[in-house]
Amino acid sequence: MRKSFTKEFRAKVALAAIRGDKTIAEIASKFDVHPTQITAWKKIAMQNMDSIFERKKSKKNNKQEKLIDELYKKIGSIQMENDWFKKKLNLYHERNG
């Protein structure tokens, strides 16, 4: 099962990588995250650094982000249901040959 990290945690890890006072390996060990993931989060943070200083977020972007989050949750739910149905179908086939 995949680990899920909060945006706050990802930001904290990316900031530690940006600081550069520790190696990526040390940060990975400290936060129990794969070094490749840390490098990816650092890259994302560096690319989006300018957006931190914007005055206002547009309502359209907020609505779009909320919609995307809801859709990802729905996809996850559907995937879990499909896995459950597959498991039950396999059990049915095993019992009924």
Q: Residue 26 maps to which CATH number?
A: 1.10.10
pTM score, two decimals? 0.54
State residue 95's pLDDT score.
Answer: 87
Q: Between 35-47 and 24-31, two packed helices, what is the crossing angle to 10 degrees?
A: 110
Say whether both 51 and 4 belong to one domain.
Answer: yes
State residue 30's pLDDT score.
Answer: 95
Say whether both 6 and 48 belong to one domain.
Answer: yes
Say whether both 31 and 74 belong to one domain.
Answer: no
Say whether both 49 and 66 belong to one domain.
Answer: no
Q: What is the pLDDT of residues 64-79, one digit of tens each?
A: 899 999 999 999 999 9
Say whether both 51 and 61 belong to one domain.
Answer: no
Say whether both 15 and 46 belong to one domain.
Answer: yes
Question: How many Å from the N-terminal Cα to the C-terminal Cα in the chain?
Answer: 30
Domain count, the chain: 2
Q: Which is higher by pLDDT, 82 or 3?
A: 82
Average pLDDT across the chain, whole number: 90
